[in-house]
Chain A
Amino acid sequence: MKRFILFLSCFLLLTIRIQAASYTPESLPMVYLQDQTRHVVNPDGILSAGCVAAMDTLLWNLERNKGVQSVVAVVESIENDDCYEFCMQLARLHGIGSKANTGLIILLSTQNRCYQILTGTGLEGTLPDAICRRIENQKMVPFLKQGDWDQAMYQTVYSVCKVIEGDPTLINELTGKKKQEGGNTGLYFVGAVILLFILISWYSNRQRNTCPHCGKQGLVRMNSNIITDRIHRIEHHQETFRCPHCGQLTHRNHDEPMDNGTGFGGMVPPIMGPWGGFRRGGSSFDGPQGGSFEGGDFGGGGSGGEF
Chain B
Amino acid sequence: MKTKKIRNYILALTALFSLNSCSYNEMVEKDEAVSTAWSNVEVQYQRRSDLIPNLVSTVKGYAQHEQSTLQAVMEARSKATQITVDADNLTPEKMKEYQQAQGEISSALGKLLAITENYPELKANQNFSELQAQLEGTENRITEARRRYNESVQEYNVLVRSFPNNLFAKMFGFDKKEKYEAESGSEKAPEVKF
Question: Which residues on A are within 8 Å of B, measured CB to CB?
Answer: 84, 88, 128-130, 132-134, 137, 298-304
Our count of residue pairs bridging A and B at CB distance below 8 angstroms stands at: 42
Contacts of A299 in B (CB 8 A): 141, 144-145
A95 to B133, alpha carbons, bound, how many Å? Answer: 24
- Seen from chain B, the residues whose Cβ lies within 8 Å of a Cβ on chain A are 126, 129-134, 136-138, 140-145
B126 contacts A300, C-beta separation under 8 Å: no
* CB of A147 to closest CB in B, whole Å: 22
Whether the Cβ atoms of A129 and B126 lie closer than 8 Å is: no
Contact B130 A133 (CB under 8 A): yes
Which 10 A-B pairs have CB atoms at the shortest separation, nearest pair first?
A133-B133, A300-B140, A129-B137, A130-B130, A300-B144, A300-B141, A303-B133, A129-B133, A129-B134, A133-B130
A128 to B140, CA, bound (A): 14
Once the chains bind, are B133 and A84 in contact (CB under 8 Å)? Answer: no
Chain A residues positioned under 8 Å from B129 (CB to CB): 133, 137
How far apart sit A299 and B129, CA to CA, in the bound complex (Å)?
21
Q: Which residue of A lies closest to B132 (CB)?
A: A133
Contact (Cβ within 8 A) B126 A88: no
Q: Is A130 in contact with B141, judged by CB distance below 8 angstroms? A: no
CA A301 to CA B126, docked complex, whole Å: 19
Q: List 10 A-B contacts (CB under 8 A).
A: A84-B140, A88-B144, A129-B134, A130-B130, A130-B131, A299-B144, A300-B140, A302-B140, A303-B136, A304-B136
Question: Which residues of B are found within 8 Å of A303, using beta-carbon distances?
Answer: 133, 136-137
- Rounded to whole angstroms, the CA-CA distance of A272 and B133 in the bound complex is 62
B130 touches which one: A134, A298, A302, A304 (CB < 8 A)? A134
Residue of B nearest to A132 (CB): B133
A262, B43: Cα distance in complex, Å: 77
In the bound complex, residues from chain B placing their C-beta under 8 Å from that of A300 are 137, 140-145
